Structure 1
Amino acid sequence: MMLQSFKGHDDAAMGALAAQVFDGIRALSPDSAGVSRPAFSDIETRTLDWLADFARTEGLHVEEDAGRNLLFCLPKDAQAESWVLIGSHVDSVPMGGNYDGLAGVVAGLIVLIRAARSGRSFRRPVKCLAMRGEESAWFGACYLGSKMLTGQLPDAELAAAHKGDGRSLRDHLDGLGIDTAPLAARTPICDLSKIEGYLELHIEQGPLLVERGLPAAVVSGIRGNFRHRLVRCIGEAGHSGAVPRAYRHDPVLAFAELMHRLDDTWDHLLRTGRDLVLTSGIVGTDPASHAISRIPDELGFSLDIRSQDAAILDQMRAYLREQMDDIGRSRGVRFDTGAEVAVAPALMDPTVIAGLETAMARVTDEPFTMPSGGGHDAAIFAQAGIPAGMVFVRNRNGSHNPDEAMEIGDFLVGTAILSAYLEAEE
């Protein structure tokens, strides 16, 4: 696949510039493996300071907003009445990769610098947003920075305790000098009317682009989900050799039957063109009491069910309950699902999707559109009524781990798609 060059920009120079930023930020935030940039931490602040110095060196205007995020733009657009926003987050998971989140911020900077160096104009003013606090690893809730900006931060998340020091998010924000009164009142801390659209470049967190041999994709939507962190399947303990099948209340077999039914339904929905993924990432009996010769009395498991279609999520929620009740009756067990945690799907704006697809057709010979399985700040902006769109960049080895392997060449394809979408046609 050949990248069609844009007049007046030097791919090699832009690639070297992007690598300089990635390497500089990596050096600021090393961990025993990968990088760690905790949300609302000193390391996150130093990352933003580094980006501000870099942007000023490149002649960009830099300002800080009420959430102590950074905004970058061409000097001529500093006083614009409204703008299109390119954004992402700078925090990471513990011992994570260097590209998750950061690639989206660097993409925005490259788009601005490319336009400045080439003399090309944007159709509308463009600003790049470097956000704090997207990862759930630190306070147990995700998208904190974008929820703060858009007035969607729940009280429970403002009071959430940090996994390390136990201090609340409110306490951490106070320490940064961020006014928490509007957050508690669910008031946006930025003027949403000034944001004409939100764009986000992100590494793909699955294998689809790698398997298809594609450098980038346009994102159609971000899957919503409902999750149960701990479902308890409660049965009855017994001797493995002494209890006949008809008298068993085995939670392991009940769990296996439930997952088999869910998998069959998943397969059926995919075959009929519907969108669904489901995962049980934690499964186990109690280590203190399990034994090779003991029928366990209880099994615990997690469940994560995702779809772009809210109706499918509702259907799966009801189906899950029906199947648990049926299996419970037939096998003499019961399921206790505990609390549900849910996030609504966020479809990207159809006009933005179409524009990005057209831009990708100009940049590559094989435009491609796909859903996002992971959540992103773009979903929060979409839920706030702002037209949103995303571009994925190929990345090997998944994300949230030190082995993220985005290539600069693929990254440049993604940024070229954004530039083609934003820049005025000649």
Structure 2
Amino acid sequence: MTAPLMDVDLGHHLFSRLYEIGFDGRGMTRPSYGREENFAHALFMGVAGQYGLEVRRDWASNLYLTLPGRDRTLPVVMTGSHLDTVPCGGNFDGAAGAVAGLLVLCAWVKAGFRPERDTTLIVTRAEESVWFPLSYLGSRTAFGLLEPSALETPRSDDGLSLRHHMQDCGASPDLCGKASVLDAAKIDCFVELHIEQGPVLLEADVPVGIVTGICGSTRYRSAVIHGQYAHSGATPRCFRSDAVMAGASMMTALHEAWKQAEADGEEMTLTFGVCRTDEAQANFAAVPGKLDLVIDIRSRDEALLERVNGLVIQQARRVEQDYHVRVELGPRTCSTPAVMNADLQADAKIIATSLNIPFVSMSSGAGHDAAIFALQNVPTGMLFVRNSNGSHNPDESMEMDDFMEGVRLLECLLRRRAVSVS
């Protein structure tokens, strides 16, 4: 079969409707297990119904859209991503992969192509862990990896539990640990398309990246440094318990450790995404007595993550002594690095070359649902599409021509796996 024609107008329609659903006046806000995420899932279900795709949802309301294969006993080919966003995010993070998968299945239906094995688009719930401090929530529920106790986790904006929001969205949280879930042995492969969230493709001037691996993370989302409020003019340095200076010293030391790791040829990132004093009590005439801090460390090297985590603890203890403060790091959350399947990478390179699509191989510093599939021993691949201005912000800027190049590559890669019966 020659490659079917991808419907770019359907792509424009889906992105336009997602924009209308999520626009908050500045960017996109489709909260995990929220009203807007529900509307986005309904949009995909509606289009799938028009094309005669099978539609089902699991106990956690992950969505599965399937074009049945000739032999439904064969392991299934899967693609997909998510439709939730961070607050005031962009319209392409996650959504690009979900739209791409739907375009492929709709094109196959329109061309009258029936694969040898089932081919399924999964649209996961709640990938963005800014809403719940649980990495890869949707894909973890799909594989039965969520502990029932996690259902009581509050959502960041309203404090209501994951259980509450699941029920409100039509899910069945009481089935956690009891309902049937994905079986990795029955999945032939999983390939996720996603916008790149950094500048690599832009700087290389190529539209597509073939991902080699996905970083894991160590995070402290609610660290607090407790000092003592005091008069800024009447308190000499030796009598101060300055939470801000303790935090600055700790952050600077960790940043120096990052620079040294890079000098040693190691790959990681370190980010302090929140650093704030108490609006109600801090002022220009007071020594700050409290600092809230978040710490985000990422790497494909699990040993490096552990080593840097040890440095975080060591630096916390040091500044307690040096600045007479108390450091509460709070709970540590982690995700495991994942390696993408070598055969899928090789196939993607061969196909991209045959289609005259320029590409580079690259790692992913951000986390994705593909990591969970890979860690369940499902052969997993990932494709990036060039995108300006990063992600998780309203200025995400993916060109439709670049996107359709990624869709063409995804379609050929999925079709190669879907027609194989070996």
Shorter chain as denominator, the TM-score bin is 0.7 to 0.9
Partner of 1:214: 206
1:224 to 197, 216, 220: 216
Q: Which runs of 5+ in 2 are unaligned?
A: none
TM-score (norm 1): 0.85
Taking the aligned partners of 2:286 and 2:169, their CA distance within structure 1 comes to 54
Q: CA deviation at 1:216?
A: 1.8
Distance of aligned partners of 1:328 and 1:414 in 2 relative to their CA distance in 1, 3 Å threshold: same
Confirm or deny that 1:19 pairs with 2:12: yes
- Tell me the matched-pair count: 417
Which residue of structure 2 lines up, in the alignment, with residue 357 of structure 1? 349
Quote how far apart the aligned CAs of 1:219 are.
1.8
Provide the residue aligned with 1:274 in structure 2: 266
Residue in structure 1 matched with residue 79 of structure 2 by the alignment:
86
Task: Write out aligned runs for 1:75-224 (5 A).
Answer: 75-77=68-70, 79-116=72-109, 125-163=118-156, 167-185=160-178, 188-224=180-216
The one-letter amino acid paired with 1:225 is S
Out of 44, 63, 83, the position equivalent to 2:55 is 63
* Contact preservation (8 Å) 2:231, 2:285: yes
Identity %: 35
Contact 1:218-1:391 at 8 Å conserved across structures: yes
Correspondence 1:233 to 2:225: yes
Q: CA deviation at 1:172?
A: 3.8
Distance 1:350 1:72, change over 3 A: same
In structure 1, how many angstroms separate the alpha carbons of the residues matched to 2:150 and 2:37?
A: 19
Provide the alpha-carbon RMSD of the alignment: 3.1
AA partner of residue 361 (structure 1)? T
Structure 1 counterpart of 2:27, from 17, 21, 34:
34
Q: Which residue of 2 aligns with 1:401?
A: 393
Q: Is the 8 A contact 2:69 2:115 kept in 1?
A: no
Could you tell me how far 1:246 is from its partner in structure 2? 5.1
Query: Could you tell which deviates more after superposition, 194-203 or 239-248?
Result: 239-248
Q: In the alignment, is the contact (CA less than 8 A) between 1:239 and 1:294 conserved in 2? A: yes
Superposition deviation, residue 210 in structure 1: 2.2
Match of 2:295 in 1: 303
Amino acid at match of 1:134: E
Q: Is the 8 A contact 2:79 2:101 kept in 1?
A: yes
Q: Select between 147-156 and 31-40 the one with higher mean Cα deviation.
A: 31-40
Q: Mark the CA change 1:326 to 1:123 in structure 2 (over 3 Å): closer, same or farther.
A: farther
1:312 corresponds to 2:304: yes
- TM-superposed CA distance for 1:215, in Å, is 1.4
Structure 2 vs 1, CA of residues 230 and 201 (structure 1 numbering), >3 Å: closer, same or farther? same
Check 1:254–1:52 CA distance in 2 against 1; reply closer, same or farther (3 A cut): closer
Secondary structure in structure 2 of the residue aligned to 1:417 = helix
Q: Is the 8 A contact 1:123 1:422 kept in 2?
A: no
Q: Displacement of 1:78 after TM fit? A: 8.2
Report the CA distance between 1:424 and its aligned residue: 3.5
* Maintained 8 Å contact 1:62/1:70: no
Distance 1:261 1:422 in 2: 46
Q: Does 1:371 align with 2:363?
A: yes
For normalisation by structure 2, the TM-score amounts to 0.86
Query: Which amino acid counterpart does residue 371 of structure 1 have in structure 2?
Result: S
Q: Secondary structure at the match of 1:424?
A: helix
**Alpha carbons of 1:320 and 1:43: their partners in 2 closer, same or farther (altered >3 Å)?**
closer
Q: Which moved more, 1:44-53 or 1:191-200?
A: 44-53
Q: 1:149 to 1:324 in 2, by over 3 A?
A: same
Q: In the TM superposition, what are the counterparts of 1:321-400 in structure 2 within 5 Å?
A: 321-364=313-356, 366-400=358-392
Deviations 1:21-56 (A, max 9, x none): 222333344433334333334543443333233234
Q: What is the rounded CA distance, in whole Å, between the counterparts of 1:107 and 1:83 in structure 2?
A: 18
**What is the CA–CA distance in structure 1 between the aligned matches of 2:137 and 2:126, rounded to whole Å?**
5
Distance 1:341 1:292 in 2: 34
Deviation at 1:354, TM superposition (A): 3.1
Please tell me whether the aligned partners of residues 120 and 423 of structure 1 are also in contact (alpha carbons under 8 angstroms).
no
Greater mean alpha carbon deviation, residues 93-102 or residues 267-276: 93-102
Q: Partner letter of residue 76 of structure 2?
A: W
Q: Is the 8 A contact 1:104 1:202 kept in 2?
A: yes
Q: Cα deviation per residue 1:137-169 (whole Å; 9 max; x = unaligned)? A: 444434332221100112232122345665433
Using the TM superposition, give the Cα deviation of residue 108 of structure 1 relative to its aligned residue in structure 2, in angstroms.
0.9
2:43 to 50, 67, 88: 50
Equivalent in the alignment of 1:3: none
Residue identity matched to 2:53: H
- 5+ residue gaps, structure 1, are 1-5
